Amino acid sequence: MKHEKWQDAAKERQPLTGGKRATKLWMLGGSALDGAEAEGGAAALFHADSRRLSAGSGRGQEEILGIADAPDTCALQEAGAVLAAGGTVAFPTETVYGLGADARSTAAVEQIFAAKGRPSDNPLIVHIADPAQLQELVTGVNDTERRLMAQFWPGPLTLVLPVKPGAVSPRVTAGLDTVAVRMPDHPAALALIRASGCPLAAPSANRSGRPSPTLAAHVLEDLSGAIDGVLDGGPAGVGVESTVVQAAPDGAVTVLRPGGITEEQLAGIAASVRRDPALAHAGGTDSPAPRSPGMKYTHYAPQGALCVVTGRTAAAVSARIQAELDAARTRGEKTGVLSFDEHIGFYRADVAVSLGSLAAPEEAARRLYAGLRQFDEAGAAFLLAETCPEEGLGAAVMNRLLKAAGHHIIDADA
């Protein structure tokens, strides 16, 4: 099989470069943000380890002004003031780290696009701290949407709603008559939104096209010097972005982007659940304008050339992956494989990353983006990945993995 097309696409990705803005880092502990259950609650993310920045973040190009040792409330107030003044701050959510700016200010929102290198027709999600804020943003909410909010907010569910004219910058909606809104399930995110006094437009806090950040260290790798600040709240709990849906009054729900709320969970509330047909395609510059983030362009990609290997049996997939890895090493390429605990021992690769057990898609979701970044850190150029069942969070994992690979697939049975 020829790999030139997807390898060339990887080579065209621009190297990451730092900007000239001074980026401040605030480290959050647990003293001022406790109150959730120790297990399963969002506050569990704030533990002793979150007082340190993960190793490997220093690349020599970031200018960190200082680590705040004031209480968390002071750090959040300071970060909120930056946002209220039109700046940009990356912050933790239960899904991934987001890059926030005042959704009402075009000048502020344009800083998001500039820092990320994000295409202008890719809409942004607006984050709120209270459902009452919807009155300022949308023209109405139907019964299906109310039921979804009652069940899943705060949480990793984004609703695409009819936007109130003039409520947010047109850069947020990318010219559409709808706006994507969610209420995150993370104490720091909610406190920051309240401290800023703004609805926050916030895509993932990474360079456009790169794997999303699940640690503050990932944010600094991509955006230090290009944004005003980063709130470090430790690792993200879900690990993939929110599910984005449109809901009809009759109870029909269309999934525009799979994510932290599964289709099975939605089916417990909705009369019917369907995936948008656009999810089956890679997208591109000639695709229609996206109704949701993640529906167009290559996303989540490592710097090496990634391909997903499919097949009827695990044995066929494993054999094909190893044959391709051996051929790449013969060509002098550094290789990487993304696999699962059940199969990781089968492979001889320069870098082998496990996403956990095939029986635990929630663990795969937590590990995916960090795993893709691990290949970059090792300089692996030829990357192959196994698939997982598209059930539960597995649907979101496979959506992100195929996007990261630009929908380049090797059929082991061919």
**Nearest to 256, CA basis, from 306, 292, 206, 229:** 292
257: left (phi over 0), alpha (psi -120 to 50) or beta: beta
Cα separation, 343 vs 196, in Å, equals 47
Residue in this structure with the two tokens 């709120």, named with its chain if needed: 128
User: Which among 231, 179, 180, 185 is positioned nearest to 205, based on CA atoms?
Assistant: 231
249: burial class by Cβ within 10 Å (0-12, 13-18, 19+)? exposed
Bond from prior residue into 154 cis (ω within 30 degrees of 0): yes
Q: Which residues contact 369 (CB under 8 A, 6 or more apart)?
A: 96, 211, 212, 213, 214, 218, 239, 240, 300, 400
List residues forming the annotated binding site for ATP: 118, 178, 204, 212, 257, 300
SS3 content of the chain, % helix, strand, coil (to 5): 35, 20, 50
Binding site per annotation, positions for L-threonine: 95, 122, 127, 182, 202, 242
Helix (H) / strand (E) element for 131: namely none
- Find out whether 290 and 121 touch, Cβ atoms under 8 Å: yes
What DSSP line would sit under 327-388, residue for residue?
A: HHHHTT--EEEEE-TTTGGG---SEEEE---TT-HHHHHHHHHHHHHHHHHHT--EEEE---
Binding residues: 95, 118, 122, 127, 178, 182, 202, 204, 212, 242, 257, 300
Residue among 32, 83, 25 nearest 187 (CA): 32
Cα-based torsion angle of the residue sequence 78, 59, 367, 396 in order, rounded to the nearest 10 degrees: 70
